[in-house]
Amino acid sequence: MKKTSLKINLKNPERVIYAPNSQRLPGPDFEWVRSSKKNPKYDFIEILGKGISLSSSLKNSTIFKNKDQLLNSFLEKNKKSKYPIKHKKGEIIDIWVLVIWCADDFPKRDKKDKGIIVVNYYSDEPRDDDPITDDYPSYFKSTSKINIEIIVDKKTFRNLRQKIMVEYYSSSEFEDIIVNNKKISKKDREYEGNPFKKKSFKPNILTIEFDPDYRGIMRQGDKDESIWGYDFLINNFRLK
């Protein structure tokens, strides 16, 4: 296996969310954890940001480099993408979302499985009835992006969750709720708070190791030009 790693600095995320008992995501993007329940609900933490560091072997590969946008199979012929962030062929894809799951919620999972990386060169176009505004994180403004999911132990998950909630309860959003005596439904409630803004907060660096030769291919059709992404199983990761 090649020694390859992807590193993400979590110190300046664009958005950090804790979603308790949520149906927004159906669970980790692995076949082995698909629940037999009709409407499964899970806790997860979602971090959106921009900026990555690659090991030397990955810098020399094309895995994390943008492809020709003219080959975007999600676009009709001669149509331009509605995404506001534009990319040139060969530029590094450095926009990402990190979803963190708690291992205790998936007791039947294979203990060797750590997570997954999905590199999207192209994505479905935004809907006309859901316009992208300036306050959206970069992830929602770009057709190319990286999706990362990892599973951590209960102690690590609880630590992150508690720190996010502390930041939420000191936010202007929560202050507005209290001052104006607003009634907020707990159903599908998500809490936004960024503990990473404090320089002393740990963990704040995620390093992921994976084998770039062991990949799943996502495509529309049989031609190489129709490939819109790859996924890679995570062999190991360090969150510190």
Averaged pLDDT score across all residues of the chain = 87
pLDDT in tens, 112-154: 889 999 999 999 999 888 888 899 999 999 999 999 999 999 9
Q: What is the pLDDT of residues 63-122, one digit of tens each?
A: 999 999 888 888 888 788 999 999 999 999 999 999 999 999 988 888 888 999 999 999
Residues 91, 100: Cα–Cα separation, whole Å: 27
Could you tell me the two tokens for 218? 């996502």
**Which DSSP category does 65 fall into?**
B
Q: Is the per-residue pLDDT at 173 higher than 80?
A: no
End-to-end C-alpha distance for the chain, whole angstroms: 24
pLDDT tens track for 216-232: 998 876 655 678 999 99
Sheet containing 53-54: give its strands across. Answer: 53-54, 5-9, 205-219, 227-239, 115-120, 145-152, 95-102, 42-50, 15-22, 191-192
Q: Where are the domains of the chain?
A: 5-239
Query: In angstroms, how far is CA 169 from the centroid of its own chain?
Result: 24
Task: Tell me the per-residue pLDDT of 206-215, one tens digit each, with 9 for 90 and over.
Answer: 999 999 999 9
Task: Report helix angle 172-179 to 154-169, nearest 10.
Answer: 60
Q: What is the pLDDT of residues 156-171, one digit of tens each?
A: 999 999 999 988 888 6
At 159, list the tokens.
């630590």
- pLDDT tens-digit series, residues 8-41: 999 999 999 999 999 899 888 765 555 566 778 8
Please determine, for residue 180, whether its predicted confidence score (pLDDT) is greater than 60: no
